[in-house]
Structure 1
Amino acid sequence: MKRLIGCALLTLGSMQLMAQEQKSELRLADEAYARQEYALAGNLYGRVIKGKPSRAPMALLMKLAHCRRETGYFGEAANWYAAAVQRPDCPAAAYFAYGEVLRNLEAYDSAKVQYARFNTVQADSLALKAAALRGCDSAVAWRQQKVTLNNLGVLKELNTPYSEWISGAVKKGLLLVSNGYRKMMLNDGAEANPVTDKRTFQPYYKAYVYQQYAQGNSTMYLEEMLPKVLDKYRYHIGPSCFNRAEDTLYVTVNEQQRPELQQRKGPIQGRRRLMLYYAVKKDNVWSPLAILPGLNIDGFSTSHPVISGDGGVLYFVSDRPGGFGQADIWYSEKQADSTWGKPVNCGARLNTVAAETFPTINEEGALYFSSQGHPGMGGYDIFRATGSRDNWGAPVNLKAPFNTGADDMGLILKPNGYEGYFSSNRPGGQGSDDIYHFTDAAYFTGGRPGDGGTTGGQPGTGITQPDLAGGKPGQPGTTGTTGTTGTTGTTGTTGTTGQKRTPTTEELELIRELEKLRFLYDFNSATLLPESKKVLDYVTGVLKQHPDWKLMVLSYADSRGSEGYNINLSALRCFAVIDYLGGKGIDVKRLYYMNLGEQFLVNACKDGTPCTEEQQRQNRRSELKVIY
């Protein structure tokens, strides 16, 4: 965002005119600040101060620093706070605010110095100070223990110089919120000059749907979500969610009327609130959008809806009275007449004296959200908590690389449990908030893929595998029970299969036939080849004929590459097989996996041994073990 630049005037008359103009700019700046138009106010304050912080009123200096912080210019904000703390009239709040932006910049030792200088008797402020100091200490340790995610990177095809994040998943794609697509020619045309939000000098947000390219599916498209329903609304639209049947939409929309204004001595006060709306599809036609009854409250924001898998609980974010801090996560239960019940706060385990927001549900019984109040690395950190309604376990910080000193938010896992997205304004992106994508089986570990990936109390908690007597098919005597996934624990599930029955002679022959199958892969790939899919179609038929059988997928890599990388790559190959069988109608609760990396090579192609590409290819494989 460019600063506004004034012309230099040299004559005495011009200097008098500049003084009058400066008063006008100061009033405009204060009015913009009161409306929370921080980008506009920051530029105006910058013109008033003109780079001379030692002579500027402290109130102006603090407002300018706050504007830069709110618009994500942490380095500039730090410079203005640094100027403030050097002055004798520095308020106590400046030390805490300076510590916050230093934490945003991951200067944790310097941040601790400023937090220590912050003295207060206010209980909430003391709680924030304590959490911030713990967060600094934790962040240093977490950065040293940083987990390397497989294929983590900016999703270039979806990011713009503005802001984007993914807010949820639907059957055929992903739900996005963006202010960078409005000039693009999509299903509702393009806007040559979209209206700009003066808080950020960026366009207002809209909701979109994105269908990602998949193997065997050549379509990849981005389109505005339900333009006939949403296009009549100005200002911000999104985030949103659908129920499981995808015939009811819940969406965040800015208030459409002008915000309430109060003329007092001084600037105009005003703020545009967020509200929850809904629409219903009947006979393939969507109803007009309407305010969701019972959940909104006058004068306060209600936003960020997310619905539980069974459709019985709607979680949302609100700054309404009765909460613990600036914004809390609340819930409402669906009533017998399909209305939503009285909102209830999710409780002090989730909510703090600061802000909690961006809730998502990726597996039933687990809530992901971002918080500024729990100890973290800086800005908004992503947390995971297990429970429901107002009964939650202690939130777990997802640590690096999901979290940084910047704002990290909106973690979404695909149904396969290992591929996901989150957004961040960390350095190295393409715009303000960027979408990051990862495919990694090591971090969200434990449980079958169909059970949502994470089943332990926190990410990285391993659980045991089913006992495979004889382990790897064809090699009696190996146990094969400890398939690891890199640095974060073991994968798989506890495999109690109930009372075993003795298979018939014909079934034993069929089992031996299945366990001789081998699916090969191209180098550094987890994509199923056409011939593998044909074989898996046969496996699908067998499993449908024997619904009491379960299947263990064992996957391997060749010896090239690091051991950790090969472990993760073999996990992705397990998931490729499981995804395909699940898509063919096999209940994924019947499917288990072991990612064995470069263990059990079928030939002598160890590290440093000269081998042909065909010999290496024989080690890049998946095999099957029937559990009955």
Structure 2
Amino acid sequence: MNSLQGISVSLPQDSSKPAMMKKKYVTIFAFSLLIGSVGYGQSQKARKADKAYDQLAYQNAIESYETLVKKGYSDEEIYKNLGDANYLNANYAEAANWYGKLFIKDNEPASADHMYRYAQSLKSSGEYEASNIWMERFEDAIDTDLRAKNYNENQDYLEKIERMSGRYTIENIPINSPESDFAPSLKDQELIFSTARDTGKTFRNIHEWTNRSFLNLYKATFNNGTFSNAERLPKSMNKKTHESTTAFTKDGKTVYFTRNNSEKGKFARDNEGVSRLKIYRATIEGDEWKDITELPFNGDEFSTAHPTLNPDETKLYFASDREGTYGASDIYVVDVNEDGSFGTPKNLGNSINTESRETFPFAAKNDILYFASDGHPGLGGLDIFAVQIRGDEISEIINLGKPLNGEQDDFSFYYSEESGSGFFASNRDGGVGSDDIYSFQEHEPITFECTSLINGIVLDKEKNLPLANAKVLIVDKTEKIVTESITDRDGRFSANVDCNAKQLKVVASKEDYDSSEKSWVATQNSDEIVNLKLTKSLKAAPVGTNLITYLNLQPIYFDLDKDVIRTDAMQTLEKVIAYLNTFPNTRIEVQSHTDVRASESYNLNLSARRAKNTVAYLIANGVEENRLESKGYGESQLVNNCETSSSCTDKRHEENRRSEFIVIK
């Protein structure tokens, strides 16, 4: 992307400085030069190199610094500036060479960002193992960086890219020139693109960043299966500024495009002498663009560039380095209202944007956004990525793979869903010029693994306590298991499901518990917690079991010298009845007891009456008589040490005035 190194961040803007280069980078460069100048003297050639670099005239700076190196200078700042100048001019092999010398000479480089640039430059030479080593060092140096996070989470990125590869066939189209050609878009049967093929006669038409011409808009017509007859658009579109990246409305009556900030067709500069990029809108009448106006969210102190409309033309995506940007340039979106006015631009966030360059967005159907980036794991330089954006929900980011992406810069993607074909630009080897436009045909559409994270907790319903090691199944409407998991010691679980899935069920189960389920409608990135409460399951109790203990019931107590069933016993009796209804083959013996406060014979008779009254209650509530037996035990089976009438309180004596339900079959 030689003459476009500025445009990946923005378009270069005038004969001295490029656009969309953030102020902090300009400051850092100047500061580096100030320090470096002490190291290699104050020769005229050194001052000339520094001045060219300080003014971002990188091609001139490269030539001057290389002359110094040939004369024996080996200052760290020279290597750093040579690396940066070549990197920003997309000369990645040369950048890797000079960064390599810098890191050999300086074991503690001044900037972790140079590690990242070195890693990127190595990729562009196909040295992926070496690049990964430097990415790991970069991650160690600045692990909070979004690029470090992306690398850490995608260390198998080369395998992922390989799996995505082979979906396109590409072809260099005939209209390319020896200069830079890029930013293709279609208007009816015409291909509109930006090119630096006009050399011009005066120095002001040469951009010092790359020593190449400024950019103009051209069109090519479709004939005999290809595009040909490239010709410059009229003067109303092309001024003495850079023009690039067009986006046309479906009716062909309106165009959005990128141009330098200008006054009367000439560069308008900010306080730093930089002519920033802006997006303009024009109406189209025949071959003329009229009523050219800049959009209201442009600014004189930052750049706004590379517009693209979503299919229903309600949103405009663009790249910018305005305040709030994460890196060299970020992608933003703004609502386009029915009356042609605009909402407030919104940064797409750090799931998409990084500390590097995210630029050249293209909005397609199905909420898919394509963009170029050198901040996400790729093959080298700028790669083209795709992401699906639905409201605030953002899918995984997919690298489009080979051959569309390669080791150099690949960018300015344009796609037609109807034909499955489109265009992109690249400065890969084998092209005609510094950047060429390639056509492509898609053979296999990309698909997104749209996932929704289900978080939940499984509890014991009665105790409201978490249940560890509970099994959780996610099933679809056909009862097919989608995924399964096990709760941790806190009863928690999580599972990923297809966010497009409908009528899902979450089913929890655990030994000795009845299963529980809840319906679920998957939505991507859901924060909802699914609570499932399990009831202790009923299994047939073994012979000899007391159902009071087995079912964890409150005991049935009697008042002193009474055999009447108390109202507080009825809840327990209802649960015993429910158990007997669940297990119709179970027979029980009601065993009743007394305390010691009467004679043994009296108490034996009293306990027998209590047992019979308990059985009578069960029969009256639907339990068959032949399943019940009763027996009184008097004071012979005390549950505590209340062996005399005076040894305990009445509350303690009450514990012995009880009925029990013993399974006998």
Q: TM-score range by the shorter chain?
A: 0.5 to 0.7
Once the two structures are superposed, the pairs formed by residues 342-357 of structure 1 within 5 Å of their partners are 342-357=344-359
Counterpart of 2:166 (choices 114, 137, 147) is 147
- Cα deviation, residue 282, structure 1: 5.7
SS at match of 2:353: coil
Match of 2:248 among 242, 265, 268: 242
Partner of 1:548: none
Describe the superposition over 1:478-520 as per-residue Cα deviations: whole angstroms up to 9, x where unpaired: xxxxxxxxxxxxxxxxxxxxxxxxxxxxxxxxxxxxxxxxxxx
Establish whether residue 291 from structure 1 lines up as the match of residue 310 from structure 2: no
State the one-letter code of the partner of 1:27. R
CA RMSD of aligned residues (A): 3.1
The total of aligned residue pairs comes to 407
Write the letter of the residue equivalent to 2:245: P
Q: Work out the percentage of aligned pairs sharing the same amino acid.
A: 27
In the alignment, the residues of structure 1 paired with residue 432 and residue 153 of structure 2 have an alpha-carbon distance, to the nearest angstrom, of 31
Letter of the 1:254 partner, please give it.
N
The DSSP-based 3-state class of the residue aligned with 2:279 is strand
Aligned counterpart for 1:163 among listed residues 160, 173, 180 = 180
Report the residue type matching 1:207 in the other structure: L
Q: Counterpart of 1:221? A: 229
Quick check: 1:146–1:400 contact (8 Å CA) kept in 2? yes
Superposed displacement of residue 350, structure 1 = 2.4
Cα separation, partners in 2 of 1:261 and 1:63, compared to 1, 3 Å = farther
Determine which of 62, 72, 84 is the counterpart of 1:42. 62
User: CA offset at residue 170 of structure 1?
Assistant: 1.7
1:51–1:24 CA distance, 2 compared to 1 (3 A): closer
1:129 corresponds to which letter in structure 2? Answer: A
Report the more deviating stretch, 304-313 or 344-353. Answer: 344-353
Alignment of structure 1 residues 46-61 onto 2, 5 Å: 46-50=66-70, 52=72, 55-61=73-79
Pair 1:197 & 2:207 matched: yes
1:222 partner amino acid? A
Correspondence for 2:371:
369
Which of the numbers 120, 134, 139 marks the counterpart of 1:100? 120
Judged with a 3 Å threshold, the aligned counterparts in structure 2 of structure 1 residues 147 and 109 are, in CA distance, closer, same or farther, namely: same
Structure 1 residues 76 and 117, CA gap change in structure 2 (3 angstroms):
same
CA contact (8 A) 1:36 1:271 kept: no
1:543 corresponds in structure 2 to: none
Q: How does 1:439-478 map to 2 (within 5 A)?
A: 439-440=441-442, 442-444=443-445, 456-457=447-448
Deviation at 1:389, TM superposition (A): 6.2
The structure 2 residue matched to 1:129, chosen from 143, 148, 167, is 148
Give the 3 Å change call, closer, same or farther, for CA 134–212 of structure 1 in structure 2.
Answer: farther
Distance in 2 separating the partners of 1:142 and 1:427: 20
Aligned counterparts, 1:432-581, within 5 A? 432-440=434-442, 442-444=443-445, 456-457=447-448
Show the counterpart of 1:230: 237
Q: CA deviation at 1:235?
A: 3.0
2:91 is matched with which residue: 73, 79, 87?
73
Residues 382 and 408 in structure 1, CA contact (< 8 A), matched pair in contact too: yes
Query: SS of the residue aligned with 2:306?
Result: strand
What is the CA–CA distance in structure 2 between the aligned matches of 1:208 and 1:158, rounded to whole Å?
Answer: 10
How far does residue 176 in structure 1 lie from its aligned partner after superposition? 0.9
Kindly provide the CA deviation profile for residues 370-411 of structure 1, in whole angstroms up to 9, marking residues without a partner as x.
Answer: 112222222211111223565432221111111122111122
Cα separation, 1, equivalents of 2:292 and 2:212:
25
The one-letter code sitting in structure 1 at the alignment partner of 2:179 is Y
Deviation for aligned residue 1:236? 1.5
Question: Normalised by the size of structure 1, how large is the TM-score?
Answer: 0.59
Q: CA deviation at 1:193?
A: 8.2
* Matched residue SS, 1:347: coil
C-alpha distance 338-438 of structure 1, shift in aligned 2 (>3 A): closer
Tell me what 1:212 maps to: 222
Shift of residue 89, structure 1, vs aligned partner: 5.5
Stretches of structure 2 lacking an aligned partner (at least 5 in a row) = 3-39, 451-665
Cα separation, 1, equivalents of 2:334 and 2:77: 41
Asked if the contact 1:277–1:289 (Cα under 8 Å) also holds between the matched residues in 2, the reply is: yes
For residue 344 of structure 1, report the CA deviation from its aligned partner.
Answer: 1.4
| 1:452-496 alpha-carbon deviations (Å, 9 max, x no partner) | xx6x4279xxxxxxxxxxxxxxxxxxxxxxxxxxxxxxxxxxxxx
Residue identity matched to 2:70: K
- Tell me the amino acid that sits aligned with residue 309 of structure 1: P
Q: How far, CA to CA, are the matches of 2:89 and 2:328 in structure 1?
A: 18
Q: Aligned residue for 2:325?
A: 323
Letter in 2 for 1:457: F
The offset of 1:159, in angstroms, is 1.7
Comparing both structures, which one devotes a greater share of its residues to strand? 2
Q: Secondary structure at the match of 2:176?
A: coil
The secondary structure found in structure 2 opposite 1:378 is coil
Q: Distance in 1 between matches of 2:139 and 2:153?
A: 17
Aligned-partner residue type, residue 437 of structure 1: S
Distance 1:90 1:45, change over 3 A: farther
SS in 2 for 1:116: helix
Equivalents in 2 of 1:144, 1:365: separation in Å? 23
* Structure 1 counterpart of 2:306, from 283, 304, 307: 304
Change (3 A) 1:391 1:224: farther
Larger radius of gyration: 2
Give the Cα–Cα distance (whole angstroms) in 2 for the partners of residues 35 and 432 of structure 1.
Answer: 23
Structure 1, unmatched stretches of 5+, are 2-19, 184-189, 263-269, 445-453, 460-628
How far apart, in 2, do the equivalents of 1:115 and 1:381 lie? 17
Q: Please point out which of 177, 183, 196 is paired with 1:179.
A: 196
Q: How high is the TM-score relative to the length of structure 2?
A: 0.56
Deviations 1:143-187 (A, max 9, x none): 48742644x2322x122222112432221222211112x26xxxx
Matched, 1:28 2:48: yes
CA displacement 1:291-323 (0-9 Å, x = unmatched): 22x210231100001112222211111111123
What SS class does the counterpart of residue 350 from structure 1 fall into?
coil
Distance in 2 between the 1:386 and 1:138 partners? 19
Deviates most, 87-96 or 415-424: 87-96
Q: Distance in 1 between matches of 2:116 and 2:372?
A: 20
Task: State the shift of 1:352 in Å.
Answer: 2.3
Deviation track 1:320-371 (CA, whole Å, cap 9, x = no partner) reads 1123332111111123432112211223332223221111134352211111
Residue aligned with 1:68, SS: helix
- Secondary structure of the residue aligned to 1:289 is strand
Contact kept? 1:346, 1:391, Cα under 8 Å: no
